[in-house]
Amino acid sequence: MSVVNHLPVDVDPADLEHVARCVAVLAGRLIVDERPVDLGVAQTKSSRTDIVTEMDSRSEQLLRAELARLRPDDGVLGEEGTSQAGSSGITWVVDPIDGTVNYLYEIPAYAVSVAACVGDLADPERLVPVAGAVFNPVTRELFHAYAGGGARLSVGEHERRLEVSAQTDPALALLGTGFGYDSAKRARQAALLTAVISRVRDVRRIGSAALDLCSIAAGRLDVYYESGLNPWDRAAGQLIVAEAGGVVRGVDAEPTSDLVVAGPQVLVEQLAAWVLPARTWIDPAREA
């Protein structure tokens, strides 16, 4: 069934996309314009390297306030702790800075990611994006899509349709991936990469899953996989890939935090066939 059929009857996904674009750009400008010169790490989360800066918190506050103003009946789920149920059937899934480590180091590959989803906030893994926007405030690239409307890249006044790569040969495919903050998990992810790296053209680790997915939509990467992504890392990007003609899957049909594989169908199925048997996203301690 098309995701459009899950939408509340009075909701137009194009309107949600407009909201996603507006708030992503506002938050993106904030993190660049108001970045303190002495920006440091405000707190850490899952490990000493899983960081939050004061601008992550400020960006999420701005997103929450703007969404409450524009869509007061919707729910919001954010990376930095927002979890607020709504009554409209729409939940916004936001990443106030995806690529926080790049942001800290002033590497210009970070973005604000905003997605309008349908589904149950109590089961965030299964929220289904119906509109979304990813904004890189340094390049001013705004990637956006709504269900059934195609994916687009806007830079200022210029806008173009996005299409995934036409590459079908895995040996010629440029592969994107990423790693988690937990060092034991990263070691398992590295082991998995050794099963893949010699079979593709080359590998890129950009440092922002949202921008990785948008790069897939724009054909700047041919195929991408990562284990351990959270809903806010992937919600907008996975819709943008699907609307650019790509496929996004997980261990089973739907992407989850265990695994996301994205790209043109042929490459996604090949990648899945290589990575699925390894099951390296399973912590051996969890299975013991």
Contact set with ligand IPD (CB under 6 A):
79, 95, 98-100, 178-180, 207-209, 226, 228-229, 233
Question: In sequence order, what DSSP letters do the residues of 104-171 get, joined into one string?
Answer: HTT-S--EEEEEEEES-TTSGGG-EEEEEEEEETTTTEEEEEETTS-EEEEETTEEEE--------GG
Residue 204 CB, nearest distance to ligand IPD (Å)?
A: 11
Backbone angles phi, psi at 20, to 5 degrees: -60, -45
Angstrom distance (rounded) from CA 272 to CA 109: 26
Residue 220 CB, nearest distance to ligand IPD (Å)?
A: 15
Query: Nearest Cα to 219, choosing from 168, 167, 177?
Result: 167
Residue 47 CB, nearest distance to ligand IPD (Å)?
A: 11
Angstrom distance (rounded) from CA 140 to CA 174: 24
Residue 94 CB, nearest distance to ligand IPD (Å)?
A: 11
Q: Which is nearer to ligand IPD, 165 or 208 (CB)?
A: 208
Q: Which is nearer to ligand IPD, 233 or 243 (CB)?
A: 233
Q: Which is nearer to ligand IPD, 96 or 246 (CB)?
A: 96
Query: What is the CA 214 to chain-centroid distance, rounded?
Result: 8
Residue 207 CB, nearest distance to ligand IPD (Å)?
A: 5
Angle at 104 between CA 191 and CA 143, to 5 degrees: 80
Q: Which residue is closest to ligand IPD by CB?
A: 178
Q: Which is nearer to ligand IPD, 118 or 192 (CB)?
A: 192
Q: Which is nearer to ligand IPD, 3 or 227 (CB)?
A: 227
